[in-house]
Structure 1
Amino acid sequence: MKILYSKIIVLSLVLISITSCTNFNDLEDDPNAATSVPPSQLLAGVLINMSEEEGPWSEAMRDNQFWVISFDYYGDQDYNWGAIDFKYDELANIAAMEKEGENLSTVNKYGAIAKFLKAYYFDFMSRRLGDIPQTEALMATGDNSIQKPVYDTQKDVYEQILTWLDDANTQITQARQEVGTGDVTGDPYYNGNLEKWQKAINAFHLRILINLSKHVSDMNVASRFQKIINDPATYPLFQSNDDNMQRVYGNEQNNYYTWNPGNYGFNRNRNIMGATYLNLLKANNDPRIYKVADPAAKYFNANDPEALAAYKGANTGDEQGPMQVASDNGELSYPSETRYYDSYVGEPYILLGYAEQEFIIAEAANRGWISNDADTYYKNGIKASMDFYNVSETDENTFLAQTSIRYKGNNNEGLQQILTQKYIAFFNNSGRESYFDFRRTGIPTFDIGPSNNNGGKIPMRFKYPQSEFQNNEANVNAALTSQYNGTDDINGKMWLIK
């Protein structure tokens, strides 16, 4: 299929009805300003699609090694990745939203969110592929139309992303002065609260900077990080889980949690807890294990219901046939039946959360970019994750008091602790952030076995869309030559991680 670099999609109201967080009956922000497609309608569709791209219990979460699938009919465990689609249709909707928002009496509110969303989607594409069209993208119409856009270098892409995020923070400050904290409809995450949106923009800014950790000097990462951390009045950040950017599910049709009573019989005995994740919980008697997993039936002892020995994850690299036999024999742990199958509500899906932010700041302090106390932010991240699972304060304090959990300082051991706890907090949230951290740092160790199907390697990237080789061949081949010796190699290392 040809990639459309400029296309405005009029989104159906069905997309808007899937969330109960916001009243979408009144889609017109300003009845005196004519809009062909209300910006709120465009915003709603984009935000819902964001949460469905790589949501809970998705293939992305299998690649993160949070869970495994034992039936080859329904999926596999291999890492022989193919191509992904560009996100220019979404970006066209964002551009349309920004343009329509300019017709309103308050021009900054949708414009600020649009800049954040542009940063989000260009990061989404570039982190998975490398160089991508950016400067000449979305220019297929008009007097000076460009049908075959050139590829921007990944470094230039990230310079633009950082500029957009700075501009978004400035513009949303102006929007808050115009309309206060609210007055943005079509928002299933924050119900139009611009104060929370500003925190999300800056938390995402920190995510971008930490993922540039291999380019501290040439991208001025430390000074950019310091600018945000040292000026909370200008760059407010998340203060608790209440600020999480998340999708909340409910009992409404089309807004069910991924796993629920309706698909229990279909899913239950083929979806198994992944050993990479579960073993990290077991290693430190982590109380979150009792929230997310059930003990393997074969090893469960009613007289000792919390015995960690009964929790058995399956290795991502294991062959599916023996895995299914072990599952049928009750030798492996399934996801918690009460947490994930008792209702249609499930748990919120966090796209960007307070726990992640705190671990990012802890890592920056560990690396010496900022003078803040890494231990404080490390503990904040753990507590935020524990709170998400409603772990009791007593169990939380017991966990934090363990020698293996107490922060070991601004050294490699301390960094490994931060990244390990960040991985645990990411469980079934935040798309492929766990994989990207592994790719960047090697933490935690990912399992590789006979099901890998990629020469015993975890891939470093996805392939470019096949449509590019049909419609933009010269430019995509030039990008491959400059980055990956001319081949669309999933094991090639992009600039970001060199």
Structure 2
Amino acid sequence: MKKYNLILFVLGLIVLSSSCSDDFGDMNTPSDSTTEVEPKFFFNAMQQEVLQNYQRNVNLYPDLYCQYWANTVSGFSSPRYDYVDGWIGNQWREHYTRNLRRAIAMQDMVGEDPNYVDAIAIKEIWMCYAWSRMTDTYGDIPYFGAGTGEKVPYNSQQDIYDDLLKRLDVAINAITGGAEQYAYDDGYDLIYDGDVVQWQKFGNSLRLRLAMRLSNVDASRAQTEAAAAVNGPNGLLASNADVAKVPLWSKGWYDYLNNMAWNWNNIRMSKTMSNYLYNQSSVGEDPRAPKWFAYQVEGEAKTKEEAGFDIYDGIENGYNLVPSDSDENFATINLEGGYIDFVGDGAEDFMYCPVMFYSEVLFLQAEAAMRGWISGDANALYKQAVEASMDYVGVDATDADAYVAGLPNLSGANESSLKQLITQKWLANFPNGVEAWADFRRTDYPDITLPKDGVSGSASVASGTWVKRVRYPNSAHLNNEANMPSTQNTIETDRMDVRLWWDTADTKTKTSGLMNSNL
């Protein structure tokens, strides 16, 4: 962690030095000093953005909207679909003023130097991930020409997705793996330590994720991109060893689930999560439940039996006034259950923020196979995906096999099968709420509930409907409203029930728990 602090210190010096005049810099820079920063310093800081302001950017929005978690603090309005600029508004600012500027600075610094081809390609893959999170949050955003300091038009999500898929194709195929190439090694690449083969696998897998986003809006393009992803150089993530995750330190000031669930007590398992942990397989309880969850009893993690409960229970989403006993009566994250994505067994006591699980990639392939877009047995891939999740979490193999054997089989390309697949994918993606919320908006699966106390009176979401996007921050309205989409260029019209481009299904059409528009 000392290295992370050093990186932040160096980046701080860069920002400070940029405020000085050119003449002052010339007078005060020794002739033998280093005036450039290595790309790995920029890249390391870019990766850490996934966990910056996690409570405000993720936990109070996607994590609640996908209903992995429910809020336990009375007065918090985001669970009832309110927009709070001081919370989620940070995501916009951090992307455009930090992440994007670092990427541009890195590109400008290395120019056309052939020794940095791999480094730039990896940077491009990571930025495609960052951009996809941004457009999947807001919809149309400034993209082409953004980051130059000039006001630019908002681009349509359709055009952004088109460009992201093209950028991924170029970046993945540009990687050389040559010995002369600059590498993000020595611990600065927090995910793959500069391994270019792993970055190609992640790039292809990200391409498959984005391809499946297009399933309902451009099936032909989705099929083409899915096939290209599966057949890309070095293929997809191929095992749990390939999982993309960013480490953080549980004893430091890292705004993650340990703070939300234990230090601040502002979340507990949602009732939706509890229901799905007990209603999917004929064996009953999902064997991942005690790995993921525990009861907090006098500051210690207890199993349901130790705490005197029959199940790992969750609280309903969307209370205005939360029951005062919610902390003790509902399950929370289990930081002591041996699940390596919360607390590792290394000397540094690492925790991890997920970017992409191997199980997700198998579910993506299962859905693509179900639709006939790639070869493979959809049902077998779906079962393999559940097994991969069980293995990753550390479930005993016998218990995992029994749970999977008790799951319904997929029965062809139909809504019932897709609902079953996405519901299991939703479980396996825990705690990646960003991705779970995207899947719900795209397919309207799994079934989740509306806020218990109703949509807030100040929310821009119609009663009886779900939140579909986050509105643009106040600063964007203040500084660049003229370039916003004409239907969303005022606070009043910038609504959070407006569907994204790839979200074509209308939740009001769901009957008997199934949509009529996904297949």
Inter-partner Cα distance in structure 2 for 1:33 and 1:378 = 56
Partner of 2:401: 397
Inter-partner Cα distance in structure 1 for 2:344 and 2:384 = 30
CA contact (8 A) 2:261 2:267 kept: no
Inter-partner Cα distance in structure 2 for 1:397 and 1:421 = 15
Deviation, structure 1 residue 253: 4.3
2:131 pairs with 115, 122, 129, which one? 122
Partner of 1:460: 468
CA contact (8 A) 2:7 2:45 kept: no
Partner of 1:58: 59
Deviation, structure 1 residue 127: 1.4
CA contact (8 A) 2:76 2:320 kept: no
1:259 pairs with 2:258: yes
1:490 pairs with 2:496: yes
Inter-partner Cα distance in structure 1 for 2:376 and 2:361 = 14
1:312 pairs with 2:313: yes
CA contact (8 A) 1:61 1:432 kept: yes
Q: Deviations over 1:447-481 (max 9, x none)?
A: 11215424243211111122222222221153637
Deviation, structure 1 residue 97: 1.4
CA contact (8 A) 2:51 2:255 kept: no
CA contact (8 A) 2:261 2:268 kept: no
Q: Please give the residue correspondences for 1:91-240 in structure 2 after superposition, counting only pairs within 5 Å.
A: 91-102=100-111, 106-140=115-149, 147-172=150-175, 174=176, 176-179=177-180, 184=185, 186-217=188-219, 220-229=221-230, 231-232=231-232, 234-240=233-239
Structure having greater relative contact order (Cα 8 Å, sep ≥ 6): 1
* Partner SS for 2:154: coil
CA RMSD of aligned residues (A): 3.6
Gapped runs of 5+ residues in structure 2? 11-31, 505-519
Q: Please give the residue correspondences for 1:476-487 in structure 2 after superposition, counting only pairs within 5 Å.
A: 476=484, 478=486, 480=488, 487=493
CA contact (8 A) 1:355 1:381 kept: yes
State the number of aligned residues. 451
The one-letter code sitting in structure 2 at the alignment partner of 1:332 is: F
Aligned-pair identity in percent equals 26
Distance 1:242 1:320, change over 3 A: farther
CA contact (8 A) 1:69 1:77 kept: yes
Q: Deviations over 1:252-275 (max 9, x none)?
A: 745696417xx987445x532111
CA contact (8 A) 2:211 2:221 kept: no
The one-letter code sitting in structure 1 at the alignment partner of 2:501 is: W
Partner of 1:338: 336
Distance 1:248 1:414, change over 3 A: same
- TM normalised by structure 2 equals 0.77
Q: Deviations over 1:5-62 (max 9, x none)?
A: xxxxxx9734389xxxxxxxxxxxxxx9976222111111100112335479832323
Deviation, structure 1 residue 302: 10
Inter-partner Cα distance in structure 2 for 1:62 and 1:54 = 13
1:421 pairs with 2:417: no
Inter-partner Cα distance in structure 2 for 1:34 and 1:164 = 32
Distance 1:77 1:255, change over 3 A: closer
Q: Please give the residue correspondences for 1:342-381 in structure 2 after superposition, counting only pairs within 5 Å.
A: 345=349, 347-381=351-385
Q: Deviations over 1:368-405 (max 9, x none)?
A: 22232112221221112111210010001101111x34
Q: Deviations over 1:384-428 (max 9, x none)?
A: 2111210010001101111x3433333222211210111001211
Deviation, structure 1 residue 190: 1.0
Distance 1:62 1:130, change over 3 A: closer
CA contact (8 A) 2:344 2:351 kept: no
Inter-partner Cα distance in structure 2 for 1:308 and 1:411 = 38
CA contact (8 A) 1:247 1:348 kept: yes
Partner of 1:3: none
The one-letter code sitting in structure 1 at the alignment partner of 2:237 is: F
CA contact (8 A) 2:294 2:304 kept: no
* Partner SS for 1:278: helix
Q: Deviations over 1:159-193 (max 9, x none)?
A: 11011000111112x2x134589564521111111
Distance 1:113 1:239, change over 3 A: same
* Partner SS for 1:349: strand
